[in-house]
């Protein structure tokens, strides 16, 4: 857990300093393994990253959830993604667009398999 704590401190500092290129690199695989290896703590980690200031960090956390073997509470995850899309910083999402694409793909596939529909189209506001 100490390594995870240091990882969180590091990415918070990069965000505060506005070093988004460095932050994107720190949040990219294999560095993001800190999140996937500690998936049981992901809700606590998400709570430490208020939006829109920590949009890239939140995006990496949501991406770690879809990379896990299963999504324990899919409806909660959908709510987290909806909140992210409505309040995130488009400037930060720009640095990790593939994460958002993968999240949307997993959601689409899961909703399709469960024959569940979602109404409306959400947009990231700049």
| Domain map (residue ranges) of the chain | 2-113
* Euclidean distance between CA atoms 71 and 86, whole angstroms: 21
Closest by Cα among 41, 49, 50, 59 to 3: 41
- Contacts with 70 (C-beta within 8 Å, 6 or more apart), sequence order: none
Q: How confident is the model at residue 81 (pLDDT cuts 50, 70, 90)?
A: very high
Q: Rounded to two decimals, what is the model's pTM?
A: 0.88
- Contacts with 54 (C-beta within 8 Å, 6 or more apart), sequence order: 12, 15, 48
Q: Could you give phi then psi for residue 122, rounded to 5 degrees?
A: -95, 145
Residue 62 is predicted with a pLDDT of 96
Q: What is the pLDDT of residues 45-76, one digit of tens each?
A: 899 899 999 999 999 999 999 998 889 899 99
């Amino acid at each position: 857990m100490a390594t995870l704590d240091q990882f969180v401190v590091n990415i918070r500092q990069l965000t505060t300093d506005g070093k988004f290129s460095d932050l994107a690199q720190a949040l990219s695989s294999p560095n993001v393994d800190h999140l996937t290896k500690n998936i049981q703590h992901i809700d606590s980690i998400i709570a430490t990253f208020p939006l829109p200031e920590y949009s890239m960090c939140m995006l990496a956390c949501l991406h770690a959830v879809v990379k896990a073997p299963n999504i324990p509470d899919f409806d909660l995850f959908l709510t987290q993604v909806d909140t992210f899309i409505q309040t995130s910083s488009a400037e930060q999402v720009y640095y990790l667009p593939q994460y958002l694409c993968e999240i949307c793909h997993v959601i689409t596939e899961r909703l399709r398999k469960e024959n569940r529909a979602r109404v409306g189209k959400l947009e990231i506001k700049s």
